[in-house]
Amino acid sequence: MKSSGPSENVQESVSLNNLVEVFREAFLSGDEKTVYEVEARMCNVEVLRKQLVEQVSTLSEEMTSGKENYIRLQADFDNYRKRSEKERLTVRSDAQREVIESLLPMVDNFERAKQLIKPETDREKKIDASYQGIYRQFVEVMRSLHVSAIASLGKPFDPLVHEAIGREESQQFREGIVIREIHRGFRLGERVLRPAKVKVSAGPGSEKSKPLAVESAGQTAAAAGVDEQ
């Protein structure tokens, strides 16, 4: 009669090492039932091991995916924050630009008035001094907003900041040099608010041509108080 000890051990054992020991004893004693039971139990253990490996792999993939999603969301948020800040600055800059552009005709009017008005009496001189004081304050405000006049006279023509409205022969300046400023241009920081309208030298021309003096419809930037760049 075969001993029932190994069979009881199969039911009570919980570790793989115990199963191996039970299998060895059953095999040596010829207990086929116990051998089959141990083999079945070991197959179950292998199935459980594979399931655990799959679960661990799935959890690892989920953790990796979650980390990637977090990184992606963080990057999306950073991009959104940067884009929002850029849009905010753009809106602010555009609004500032519109306001300053609306004030440029006042600059033109001040400069034209200064050219035309020639005070003679004491009363006229007092009015002119008051007017010039207001204009200086206005210029200081423009400077504080980083508004500057575009350098034109005697400079090479630059289509980025100059608008050519004609060409004239010049004995004084070589071809491509701005010889006359018709309408002053301005910058806001590095952005062009209004290009300068200019006339450009076409070169010496014929020898009989008279030298053409450099003229400007407005005052020079130094006289007007607006810095040139």
**For 119-165, what is each residue's pLDDT tens digit?**
888 888 888 888 888 888 888 888 888 899 998 999 999 999 999 99
DSSP class of residue 209 equals S
The encoded tokens of residue 115 equal 């050219």
Three-state DSSP state, 194: strand
Three-state DSSP state, 179: strand
Q: What is the pLDDT of residues 177-223, one digit of tens each?
A: 999 998 889 998 888 999 999 999 988 866 544 444 444 434 444 44
32 Cβ contact list (under 8 Å, min separation 6): 26
Q: Specify whether the CB–CB gap between 147 and 100 falls below 8 A.
A: yes
Q: In angstroms, rounded to a whole number, what is the distance separating the alpha carbons of residues 70 and 76? A: 10
The encoded tokens of residue 138 equal 């206005």
**pTM given for the model:** 0.52
